[in-house]
Copies of this chain bind each other. A is one copy, B any other.
Amino acid sequence: MSDLKQQKCEACSADAPSVSPQEIEQLKPQIPDWNIVEKEGQLQLEKLYNFPDFQTAIAFTNAVGDLAEAEGHHPALLTEWGKVTVSWWTHAIAGLHKNDFIMAAKTDEIREKIGN
């Protein structure tokens, strides 16, 4: 199976397929630290990232925001002092698409680049 980080988001419409339980089983090991949570009846990928201060946290928020704009797929980013909680899901299908796993993997990659 190809590396999620190397893939691009594909355009997503309301009739796009949600990931199946089998696909989740395949994809989840590539983003081991992400949690699959249910919010308002929708599955989401969620991860809390820690940082040494506010400035590094908001720099990370901006870097993930740049990725979101580039891929045309946008997360929820909760920025606080020393932490950012990132949530990915696909609004059009009210759940998880493969795109969300791709974005989660790329978010991990951004975190690695920032260091600390």
Residues on A close to B: CB < 8 A? Answer: 54-55, 58, 61-62, 65, 68-69, 74-81
Contacts and interface: CB of A to CB of B under 8 A. Distances in A.
A80 B76 contact: yes
A112 B41 CA distance: 35
Number of copies: 2
Contact of A54 (B54, B65, B79): B65
Nearest to A87: B80
Contacts of A75: 80
A78 B77 contact: yes
A77 B65 CA distance: 13
Nearest to A81: B74
A91 to B, nearest CB: 8
Contacts of A74: 54, 80-81
Contacts of A81: 74
23 contacts: A54-B65, A54-B68, A54-B74, A55-B69, A58-B61, A58-B65, A61-B61, A61-B77, A61-B79, A62-B62, A65-B79, A74-B80, A74-B81, A75-B80, A76-B79, A76-B80, A77-B77, A77-B78, A77-B79, A77-B80, A78-B78, A78-B79, A79-B79
